[in-house]
Amino acid sequence: MASKKIQIIRSISQMQKLSRALAGKGKRIGIVPTMGFLHEGHLSLIGRAKKSCDVIVVTIFVNPAQFAPNEDFARYPRDEKGDISKIKSAGGDIVFVPAAKEIYPESFQTYITVEKLSELLEGKIRPGHFRGVATIVAKLFNIVRPDEAVFGMKDFQQAAVLGQMTRDLGYPVKFVIAPTVREKDGLAMSSRNKYLQTPQARIEALCLYQALQQAKAMVKAEILDTAEILEDMTDRIHTVCPSAKIDYIAFNDIKTLDAVTTVKTGTVCSLAVRLHGVRLIDNILLK
């Protein structure tokens, strides 16, 4: 049996032409936007899109607009050849791999800001980050014209911001948030896990997951005060990784991102922690 052929597209005009031709044939198009260096979490999103779409477009683009000058854009891991092979194995049909100058030509001046949701949590720590995220995803939506877009719950604030943008701008796109995929020991899969270069760093990175599990257990025991939960989570993180620096541990409504002081239905606990030179994020639905 011949192996499945996958299309690699690098120009906006070619991608537009193909997506319109597919739509003209009545094909339902799914999009999975990524920054590459794919892991099982990304591949699970392709699998989710395949359940309801005829053609899956996976985009690979390390987006400079969502990195601050002091962040890791230059060293962000890249493996285009390996990514394409993984996408093919996972059942993807088209890989859109534009160059930065294709997406952001010299004359580029238009950006999208989702105001309230972009100012909290990650947005507070990384000003301008979600402006870059919203801009690139809006542009990808305009180019690919998908019927469905699939994102992961690990970046739940990103999903909230992009869901808001999708509704506000009237994109006819079904927005799907798929569950976080984890390693066997609970660490959330992330391209940045590659930076955990020693066995000790990898072990200590589990402090995020263990703190979230601590929060979940406390809620199950009817301890709902977020200040109390926060204190225990902080202790757990520093017990596992004494050198960890916590950017935030937050408790928010999953839909509005409003902060909550008492855990209720729809409360997400999210956290961002810097350890051994690596910044990791994770979250869990508490109730």
Rounded Cα–Cα distance for residues 46 and 93 (Å): 10
89 pLDDT band (50/70/90 cuts)? very high
Q: Are residues 20 and 102 in the same domain?
A: yes
Read off the pLDDT of each residue in 214-239 and give the average, rounded to a whole number. Answer: 98
Q: Are residues 41 and 109 in the same domain?
A: yes
- 91 pLDDT exceeds 90? yes
Q: Are residues 172 and 49 in the same domain?
A: yes
Q: Are residues 28 and 51 in the same domain?
A: yes
* Domain containing residue 222: CATH number: 3.30.1300.10
The answer as to whether 184 is a domain residue is no
Q: Are residues 101 and 145 in the same domain?
A: yes
The answer as to whether 39 is a domain residue is yes
Query: Domain boundary residue among 145, 178, 211?
Result: 178
* Domain containing residue 159: CATH number: 3.40.50.620
Q: Are residues 55 and 173 in the same domain?
A: yes
Q: What is the pLDDT of residue 72?
A: 86
Bridge partners of residue 33, in order along the sequence: 59
Q: Are residues 98 and 145 in the same domain?
A: yes
Query: Domain boundary residue among 127, 143, 178?
Result: 178
Q: What is the pLDDT of residue 5?
A: 87
The helix-helix angle for 40-50 and 80-90 (nearest 10°) equals 40
- 108 pLDDT exceeds 90? yes
Q: Are residues 169 and 203 in the same domain?
A: no
User: Considering 42, 129, 238, 276, which one is annotated as catalytic?
Assistant: 42
Q: Are residues 130 and 263 in the same domain?
A: no
> How many domains are contained in the chain?
2
DSSP-assigned letters across all residues of the chain:
-PPPP-EEE--HHHHHHHHHHHHHTTPPEEEEEE-SS--HHHHHHHHHHHTT-SEEEEEE---GGGS-TTSSTTTS---HHHHHHHHHHHT--EEE---HHHHS-TT-------TTGGGSHHHHHSTTHHHHHHHHHHHHHHHH--SEEEEEGGGHHHHHHHHHHHHHTT---EEEEEPPPB-TTSPBP-GGGGG--SHHHHHHTTHHHHHHHHHHHHHHTT--BHHHHHHHHHHHHHHH-TT-EEEEEEEEETTT--B-SB--TTEEEEEEEEETTEEEEEEEE--
The answer as to whether 62 is a domain residue is yes
Residue 204 near residue 178 (C-beta atoms within 8 A)? no
The answer as to whether 139 is a domain residue is yes
Query: 207 to each of 237, 239, 286, how far by Cα in Å?
Result: 5, 8, 17
User: Is-catalytic flag, 42?
Assistant: yes
Q: What is the pLDDT of residues 244-262, one digit of tens each?
A: 999 999 999 998 999 999 9
Which one, of 6, 52, 61, lies nearest residue 30 by Cα? 52
The answer as to whether 186 is a domain residue is no
Q: Are residues 33 and 67 in the same domain?
A: yes
What distance separates the 2 farthest-apart alpha carbons in the chain? 59
Per the confidence metrics, is the pTM higher than 0.75? yes
Residue 66 near residue 129 (C-beta atoms within 8 A)? yes
Q: What is the pLDDT of residue 197?
A: 87
The answer as to whether 279 is a domain residue is yes
The answer as to whether 185 is a domain residue is no
Q: Are residues 202 and 161 in the same domain?
A: no
Query: Domain boundary residue among 178, 208, 236?
Result: 178
Q: Are residues 269 and 173 in the same domain?
A: no
Q: What is the pLDDT of residues 5-53, one digit of tens each?
A: 899 999 999 999 999 999 999 999 999 999 999 999 999 999 999 999 9
Q: Domain range for residue 100?
A: 7-178
The answer as to whether 1 is a domain residue is no
